[in-house]
Amino acid sequence: MTTPFDIIEETYSRFTFERDGKVLTAAITSDHPVNGVDAAMHEEFGKVFADLQRDSHSDIIVLTAKGRAFCAGGDFDWFDEQISDPSKFRDIAWEAKRIVSSILEMEKPIICRLNGAAAGLGATIALLCDIIIADEKAVIGDPHVKVGLVAGDGGALIWPQLVGFAKAKELLMTGDMLSAAEAKDLGLINYAVPGDELDAKVAEMIAKLQGNPRWAVRWTKTVANIPLRALAAQMMDAAIGWESVSNYMDDRKEAVDAFREKRKPNLTGE
């Protein structure tokens, strides 16, 4: 006899889960001060959205984080491992593509409760959600270039769709961060609210979604995501490929060292 699928919390070390009726909140949870992505978190990002979709006890997903940040990009110790052994970067290529595709393939609506800084992959994951509600003190951006990498893990896919190519290319090539208010004004996120109103705004949005027929909501989201899924299929092999190549460059190591040491990088163009 088969039983309804229920997400197995014990299989996750970088997420915690809470239920409130048909709402399932998945919170990024780690010992890293800004929830930086390490190998374990990257692996769990690659499977969590499929598990959340299969969970038979939830209709709406809230994605958030514990701590002062949402997910502020890659962990620098993990970066050092990838630089010294590029095979470790190559080995996560399939996983990186699966993170993007599994979010876009989800039928259930995902509300991103952006409680703090989101950078790099953290920003990509937030922006691939369906409705993004941010603490007004949060910042968001994709500073891949600041650490010598191509913005290949989804940033080059989703940013142009939300803010247009001119602004997206500026932000991706400079690596500049935006305040939540700036992101809202650009149409990058839906709402920027005071921190003490964040949960109320999320609850308001949940109530609106729950006030509509479940399958109409799910399948409207599914249809709206068709162009993004097609674009991801066209782009992600090349995007991850170019990001992998950039990991081999001399300036990649120098950029990471300089960022860690809080100094200006001595870039050679190689």
Between CA 120 and CA 134 the distance in angstroms is 16
DSSP lists the bridge partners of residue 72 as 119
Q: What is the pLDDT of residue 1?
A: 33
- Among 80, 84, 70, 87, residue whose Cα is nearest residue 36: 70
Domain ranges of the chain: 9-261
Q: pTM of the full predicted structure?
A: 0.96
CA angle 137–221–185, rounded 5-degree value:
30
- Among 2, 77, 4, 88, residue whose Cα is nearest residue 36: 77
Ramachandran bin of 203, using left for φ above 0, alpha for ψ from -120 to 50, beta for the remaining angles: alpha
For the stretch 115-135, pLDDT in tens is 999 999 999 999 999 999 999
Q: What is the pLDDT of residue 8?
A: 79
Q: What is the pLDDT of residue 143?
A: 97
Pick the CATH number of 9-261 from 3.30.750.24, 3.90.226.10, 3.20.20.150, 2.40.10.220: 3.90.226.10
pLDDT beneath 70: ranges in the chain: 1-4
Residue 37 carries which side chain, given as an amino acid letter?
V
For the stretch 163-208, pLDDT in tens is 999 999 999 999 999 999 999 999 999 999 999 999 999 999 999 9
